[in-house]
Amino acid sequence: MELEVLDIAGKSTGKKVKLSKDIFGIEPNDHAIYLDVKQIMTNRRQGTHKAKERAEIKGSTKKIKKQKGTGTARFGSIKNPIFRGGGRVFGPRPSDYRNKLNKKIKELARKSALSYKAMNKQVMVVEDFSLEQPKTKDFVNIQKNLKIDDKKLVFVLNERNKNVYLSSRNLQNSKIITVSELNTYDIMNATALLFVESSLDVLQTKA
């Protein structure tokens, strides 16, 4: 499969790049995608949720009233969970949700996601460019020129570019990443996958 290389004005540069069949043309494995996305999402969880139980509540441990003879239920301290301000019963505790996934499964999932995007014609290539200064308006104009301003964009760079990153930071549907940061979740979550020419070369060379 070949793609035209565009410039930031949205016009063809006359160059074409060939997408590797080993990356953009495999038979997608849906289960591998599911496992990788699940791992990415669970690894993002902080797991710092915590509620105080009765032993951790600040308050007196004095018995509120005598055990028998009151005609009502027996009560212990004011930290009893049935009282307002008392401890939580079986409350959440800090948890580590991280899990591991075989490297080959992750690689298969990423290639499967890229293959889906190629099949759906959601992959674009733009020639390498640089912005003289960080300006959101300039980045928005590039998106309009490429006719992707209404799409959820993942823009893949070869290396970090401060001006491009700062120019897109305020845009809700745009995410700037490098080739090394490309993952299955970001690929599947995007409706437009835009590579600069050098980043595509690096991706296909490493794979």
Which two tokens mark 132? 């003289």
Which two tokens mark 127? 């020639």
All structural domains of the chain, each given as residue ranges with its CATH number in brackets, are: 2-45+99-206 (3.40.1370.10), 48-96 (no CATH)
* Per-residue pLDDT, 116: 95
Q: Does position 64 have pLDDT exceeding 80, yes or no?
A: yes
Q: Tens of pLDDT along 81-103? A: 988 999 999 999 999 999 999 99
* Per-residue pLDDT, 204: 87
Q: Does position 1 have pLDDT exceeding 90, yes or no?
A: no
